[in-house]
Amino acid sequence: MHELLANIYSYFQSLGVWGMVIDSFIESFFLMPPPDVFLIPLDLANPDRALYYAFLCTVASALGGGIGWGIGYFGGRPVFNWLFRNKGKEGFEAVEKMYAEYGSFAVFFSAFSPLPYKIFTIASGVLNMNFWKFMLASFLGRGMRFFIVSLFLMFFGELIKQYIEYIIIAATVVIVLFCVVVYKKRHSIMKSSDKKEVSPSSNSDKEEEKTLSNV
């Protein structure tokens, strides 16, 4: 498998920008080298075009994610189990738990972080997540990831190359924590507003019961 991936990498690298675009697209729903391994050399070779490469990488990866969503939606759980048989039931349940807890934020987390994005794209279709919310989360997550990589390489070049992975992990932790805090805060506000809406009706029901008992 490692030899196969090495051959694919060599071939796609020979295609230049198109190799990065094709890999970014396919990697979103199938086992392929991560787009970063093509994006980084291109950014270093042409720093003035780094943001353009990040844009291409984002669009191709997010569109590939849409294909992954379709595979999950039409193929269902059996296709997911076949594609990720090494992950098995535990992998799907972990994704399902994240969706139950965070909704479309789960897609954003996977699109931005080192988590396997392809698992989430296909699982999103299996779980019948709203397609347009999925695509929005994918574009935002993939875009932030690739643009952060390209911006750092554009300004710092080779000096920062070996630290890129740590930068992504650090940025992931900060952004994920921020999103979780915002999500929880929003959730608690919605819960409190629901309680306020319910309480007047419940009070009126109690008053009505008192009136009926007096009669």
- CA nearest 33: which of 10, 50, 58, 65? 10
Is-contact 29 65, C-beta < 8 A?
yes
What element of type H or E holds 195? helix 164-214
| Helix spans in 32-104 (H) | 36-45, 50-83, 88-102
- Domain of residue 118 covers 39-194
Per-residue pLDDT tens digits for 26-79? 999 988 888 988 999 999 999 999 999 999 999 999 999 999 999 999 998 888
How far is Cα 200 from Cα 6, in angstroms, rounded to an integer? 66
Assess if residue 129 is contained within a domain. Answer: yes
Please give the backbone phi and psi of residue 173, each rounded to the nearest 5 degrees, phi first.
-60, -45
Per-residue pLDDT tens digits for 125-182? 999 999 999 999 999 999 999 999 999 899 888 887 777 777 777 777 777 677 667 6
Assess if residue 143 is contained within a domain. Answer: yes
**Per the structure, how many domains does the chain have?**
1
Assess if residue 213 is contained within a domain. Answer: no
Assess if residue 200 is contained within a domain. Answer: no
Per-residue pLDDT tens digits for 91-131? 677 788 888 777 778 888 888 877 788 989 999 999 999 99
